[in-house]
Amino acid sequence: MNTLIQSCINNKFSKTPIWLMRQAGRYLPEFRFIRKENQDFIQLCLNTQLASEITIQPITRFNFDAAIVFSDILLVPYALGQSVNFKKDFGPSLEKIDFKILNDVKKENFLKKLNPVYETIKQTKTKLSSNNKDMIGFVGAPWTLLLYMLNRKSPKEGNFSVFPKDKNINNILMKLDEFLKIHIEAQIKSGASIIQIFDSWAGLLPEKDLEYFVYKPTKSLVDFIKQKKTISICFPRNINSYKKFVDNVNPDIISIDYNVNPLIIRDTIDIPIQGGLDPKILLQSKEAVKKEVTKYLKTFEKKRYIFNLGHGVLPETNPDMVRYLVDEVRSFNGQ
């Protein structure tokens, strides 16, 4: 049976599916309850039983059309031997790259370290299998991972510089290409029907560097996902031209941020589109939510559109507002 997302991308007249980036997270009291008892975030991601429970939490509450595995893009640097910590109110903190370790990573060891993630996908897939819902796996795009690996923390404005396209950078990009494909393949084998590629920091690059850091390495992953007959979604957040990205990378679905004008996207891009709504809207009134939701649904009414946000759900979001959002999207469709 086709899932709602598969029907949507095959037929523009189908109902609009909905899922949200960071749908499992701190805005949910049931997540905070588990998180409180599990201070080490990486170990929580690697606890199959809890990770599967967390993945299902937003499905139980809101009946979203897809589950996204509870994991993190920084598990890849972790499995490549670079330790990662999440400090409260600071975000991720990575140790300095050790090229000796990086160049020696073996596929078996990498897969062994991340095996709990694959088990989470398998277990969760079984729980979802009676429904027509997708199981979404994901990776960080090579550029965003490279940035975290070198910058060792979130690259807030001003605290990162563009890297030279030298041998070291090329070495890391090659390792990422190799191991991201291993990670993608293992997620697909475990039951992921869609892979989303998160390029959260694509918007930091000047136009002239996009080919080297974004288009070429992302296309390599998208082509690999296609070979595996799996759907790819790309989210090159804050990029200047989504149209150029789509022309160069050719994913199955493009996910957009909230800074881009949806009318321009509608009029220039022909592939299925996902997302856009500013997550900050969910901190406002129901009227504001209704107005913005209607704007996106109307704009993309004649296109193949998957409802989502323009970035992740904010931790301070009231779950009742997410309930309202889901109901609005479904009632627009007469569901």
Helix (H) or strand (E) holding 67: strand 66-68
6 binds ligand CP3 (CB under 6 A): no
Spatial separation of the C-alpha atoms in residues 212 and 165, rounded to whole Å = 8
- Name the minimum Å distance from CB 31 to ligand CP3: 7
Contact indicator for 1, 132 with CB cutoff of 8 Å = yes
Q: Which helix (H) or strand (E) holds 305?
A: strand 305-306
Question: Buried b vs exposed e over 162-192: b needs ≥16 C-beta within 10 Å?
Answer: eeeeeeeeeebbebbeebbbebbbbbbebbb
User: CB 299 → ligand CP3: shortest distance, Å?
Assistant: 23
Q: Per rule CB under 6 A, is residue 74 in the interface with ligand CP3?
A: yes
C-beta of 44: minimal distance to ligand CP3 in Å? Answer: 8
Q: Where are the alpha helices (DSSP H) in 63-141?
A: 75-79, 99-104, 107-128
Sign for the CA dihedral angle at 39, 45, 47, 51 comes to positive
Per-residue binder mask for ligand CP3 (CB under 6 A), 119-158, x = binder: -------------------x---------------x----
Instruction: Count the site residues for ligand CP3 by CB under 6 A.
Output: 22
Nearer to ligand CP3, 222 or 332 (CB): 222
Q: Is 48 in the site for ligand CP3 (CB under 6 A)?
A: no
Nearer to ligand CP3, 16 or 124 (CB): 124
If one asks whether residue 275 binds ligand CP3 (CB under 6 A), the answer comes out as no
- Contact with ligand CP3 (CB under 6 A): which of 91, 104, 207, 264? 91
Give 119's contacts (C-beta < 8 A, 6+ positions apart).
48, 190
Beta carbons of 238 and 257 less than 8 angstroms apart: yes
Candidate residues 15, 30, 34, 41; the one interacting with ligand CP3 per rule CB under 6 A: 41
List 92, 137, 142, 310, residue binding ligand CP3 (CB under 6 A):
92
Assess 257 for contact with ligand CP3 (CB under 6 A): no
| 89, amino acid identity | D
Residue type, 325: L
Give the one residue of 118, 179, 198, 307 binding ligand CP3; rule: CB under 6 A: 198
Contact residues toward ligand CP3 (CB under 6 A) are 21-26, 35, 41, 68, 70-74, 86, 91-92, 138, 154, 198, 200, 312
